[in-house]
Amino acid sequence: MLSVKVFVALLFFILGISAHFLINHTRIVGTVGVIACALFFLISSDPAVKILACAAALLHLLSCVFQNWYMQNLVFGFDFAAGAALLWGYLPQFYSAGSALAFKIGFSLILVFVLLLCLFAFIMIAIPSIIFLFLRRHLFHNVNETDAQQKETVFPNGVRLVSNVCYDTELPNGYLDIYYPKDKKISSTVIYIHGGGYIWGGDKLTGNPDGGSRAPENSTMCYLAEKGYHVVSFNYALAPEYRFPSAVRQLCQGLEWLNEHAGQYDLNMNKVILGGASAGGNLAGLLANIQTNPAYAETLRVSAPLPDDVLKAVFFEGGLFDNRRFGAAHHALFDYVFYQMGRIYLRTQDLKRKKVIPSNVIDHVTPAFPPSFVSDGNTATFYNQAKEMHEKLKSFGVKTELSIFPKERAGKLVHGFEENAGEWSDKTKGRLYAFLQEVQYE
């Protein structure tokens, strides 16, 4: 019976961890929790276990009704406390009992792993910024740059890249890259905004650590430059040091700077195309809203950064159109990581709160929104949001094209696949180019 009691304590920890990490499976976790607690009540004769099981069952039942971050972590906290209380009472006896040594060692290893997960969960609840700052600096090697040096690179396809042109000295990461086509003719200017969950940046590339090689020559930017466009890729101040709407306002200033310095850098700012990937898609969409929706611009205390009628199109690669569903990428790990990024960037514990709405693209589009090309993968990404954005634009009469390849045809295409070198990313880039050519000359 002693082994059963210790096993019940371990299961309490596991139930709590499940409640914390499986953010989009609250009802499943809650139902399993109720059933497990009922079993704990039945198999144990210890009054303490029965009382804890009843209380935990009630909380798991409530979590099925009140599905939010607060309730999930209340369940996690109680289950952790219940497991800790039982271990405190039974663990010394367990180790002094006559159980097999191999069983004790195996149990100990599992327990240590589970407790480490609990520690990580507590850190993520209280100070998630610490974890993401560590990852940004030591795994992805991104910083909020203040002293980047300008340099020039020429790729084998003839595209010339001028890196780290400074456009803002007030906030960090106020740098942009310019891709010049081999053909010296001044064409339309594509303005691209990288992703990375608003927290890591990929130095003006995709920003998504699972989204591709992150090599400039494989990027959409280099592809469009090869096709004759001038391409400007912005960096911007990253969270957690700089949160919404800092990056939006900084990018508005960047567009104004580009417009003022267009002649110096041989850019045609009379025909502008905005684009972005993932969180960068959100920022590109918000800039388009600011340009076309004066009421929305007023809510962010900014004004349209470009003259009227120069914004010809917008394109999105795995764009995040609704931050309330930042943690809904149809993949348990991505959902959890993205949700934490949203909490950090938007200064909230619950992404369903009304304060998140100003950061959403889809809530502020109008019939004046520019023609839009919307692409996404089919696995572990925001394809539902892409479809909804496409349908909303269609309902307004805005020209729009949706590019999502089905799994049956293309296999699994994950978030950020557009920046990979491969058949389906090439097809997407081809569709994008055809769309941009069409809308520019209508």
Per-residue confidence of the chain (442 residues) as pLDDT tens digits? 557 778 899 999 999 999 999 999 999 999 999 999 999 999 888 898 999 999 999 999 999 999 899 999 999 999 999 999 998 888 878 778 766 788 788 888 999 999 999 999 999 999 999 999 998 888 777 778 888 899 999 988 899 999 999 999 999 999 999 999 988 777 899 999 999 999 987 567 655 444 344 566 778 999 999 999 999 999 999 999 999 999 999 999 999 999 999 999 999 999 999 999 999 999 999 999 999 999 999 999 999 999 999 999 999 999 999 999 999 999 999 999 999 999 999 999 999 999 999 999 999 999 999 999 999 999 999 999 999 999 999 999 999 999 999 999 999 999 999 988 789 999 999 999 999 999 976 5
Separation between Cα atoms, residue 15 and residue 37, nearest integer Å: 10
Separation between Cα atoms, residue 278 and residue 418, nearest integer Å: 11
List, in order of start, the domains of the chain with CATH numbers: 2-126 (no CATH), 151-440 (3.40.50.1820)
pLDDT of residue 211: 39
- Return the SS3 of 141: coil
DSSP 143-159: ---S-PPPEEEE-TTS-
pLDDT single digits (tens) 314-331: 999 999 999 999 999 999
Residues 6+ apart with CB under 8 A from 413: 377, 378, 379, 405, 407, 424
Record the tokens describing residue 5, joined without a space: 């009691």
Task: Give the global pTM.
Answer: 0.93
The dihedrals phi and psi of 268, each to the nearest 5 degrees, come to -95, 100
Separation between Cα atoms, residue 398 and residue 369, nearest integer Å: 7
Record the tokens describing residue 140, joined without a space: 């992805």
Exposed/middle/buried for 109, CB within 10 Å: 0-12, 13-18, 19+? Answer: exposed
The dihedrals phi and psi of 234, each to the nearest 5 degrees, come to -90, 145
